[in-house]
Amino acid sequence: MQPHDWIAILDYGSQYSQLIARRIREQHVYCELLRFDTPAATLAARKPAGIILSGGPSSVFEPNAPLGDPKLFDLGLPVLGICYGMQMTAKLLGGHVKPGHSREYGPALIQRTGDAPLFSGLPGELDVWMSHGDQVTTLPPGFASIAGTLTCPIAAMADVQRRLYGLQFHPEVVHTPRGAEILRHFVFDICRCKGDWQMSQFVRESTDAIRRRVGTEHVVCGLSGGVDSSVVAVLLHRALGKQLHCIFVDNGLLRHGEAEQVEKTFSDYGLDLHVSHAQDLFLGRLKGVTDPEQKRKIIGATFIEVFAAEARKLGDIKFLAQGTLYPDVIESLSPLGGPSVTIKSHHNVGGLPPDLKFELIEPVRELFKDEVRELGRELGIPAAIVDRQPFPGPGMAVRVLGEVTAERVAILQQADLRVQEEMLKLPNYRDIWQSFAVLLPVQTVGVMGDGRTYENVAALRVVESRDGMTADWHRVPYDTLARISNRIINEVRGVNRVVFDISSKPPATIEWE
Nearer to ligand XMP, 238 or 347 (CB): 347
Alpha carbon distance, N-terminus to C-terminus of the chain: 38
Residue 436's closest CA among 451, 453, 419, 449?
419
C-alpha to C-alpha distance for 460 and 82, rounded to whole angstroms? 41
**Does residue 346 bind ligand XMP (CB under 6 A)?**
yes
Q: Is the Cβ–Cβ distance between 330 and 368 less than 8 Å? A: no
State the nearest-atom distance from the C-beta of 385 to ligand XMP, in Å: 16
Report the SS3 class of residue 14: coil
Is residue 83 annotated as part of the catalytic site, yes or no?
Answer: yes
State the nearest-atom distance from the C-beta of 508 to ligand XMP, in Å: 8
Nearer to ligand XMP, 117 or 390 (CB): 390
Nearer to ligand XMP, 152 or 400 (CB): 400
Is residue 359 annotated as part of the catalytic site, yes or no?
Answer: no
When binding is defined by CB under 6 A, the residue of 4, 344, 377, 483 that contacts ligand XMP is 344
Nearer to ligand XMP, 169 or 436 (CB): 436
53, with CB counted inside 10 A (0-12, 13-18, 19+), is buried
State the nearest-atom distance from the C-beta of 307 to ligand XMP, in Å: 15
**Does residue 392 bind ligand XMP (CB under 6 A)?**
yes
Between CA 330 and CA 341, with CA 335 as vertex, the angle to 5 degrees is 75
**Does residue 466 bind ligand XMP (CB under 6 A)?**
no
Between CA 54 and CA 61, with CA 56 as vertex, the angle to 5 degrees is 115
Q: Which of 31, 32, 132, 172 is catalytic?
A: 172
DSSP structural state of residue 142? T
Report the SS3 class of residue 200: helix
How many residues make up the chain in this entry?
A: 513
Q: Mask: binding to ligand XMP, 33-62, rule CB under 6 A, as x and -? A: ------------------------------
State the nearest-atom distance from the C-beta of 434 to ligand XMP, in Å: 6
Q: Is the Cβ–Cβ distance between 201 and 380 less than 8 Å? A: no
When binding is defined by CB under 6 A, the residue of 10, 146, 210, 510 that contacts ligand XMP is 510
Restricted to residues 487-506, the positions that interact with ligand XMP (CB under 6 A) are 505
When binding is defined by CB under 6 A, the residue of 393, 418, 485, 495 that contacts ligand XMP is 393
Amino acid at 381: I
Give the relative orientation of helices 478-491 and 406-423 as an angle to the nearest 10 degrees.
150
The window from 15-23, 251-259, 311-319, 344-352 that contacts ligand XMP (CB under 6 A) reads: 344-352
Strands 244-250 and 359-361, sheet pairing: unpaired
Strands 50-53 and 79-82, sheet pairing: parallel
When binding is defined by CB under 6 A, the residue of 394, 414, 422, 474 that contacts ligand XMP is 394
Q: Is the Cβ–Cβ distance between 60 and 100 less than 8 Å? A: no
Nearer to ligand XMP, 207 or 504 (CB): 504
- Which backbone phi and psi does 461 adopt, to 5 degrees? -120, 120
Q: Which of 83, 152, 193, 246 is catalytic?
A: 83
The window from 150-158, 196-204, 389-397, 413-421 that contacts ligand XMP (CB under 6 A) reads: 389-397
Is residue 346 annotated as part of the catalytic site, yes or no?
Answer: no
* Site of interaction with ligand XMP (CB under 6 A): 343-344, 346-347, 390, 392-394, 434, 468, 505, 509-511
Active-site amino acid positions: 83, 170, 172
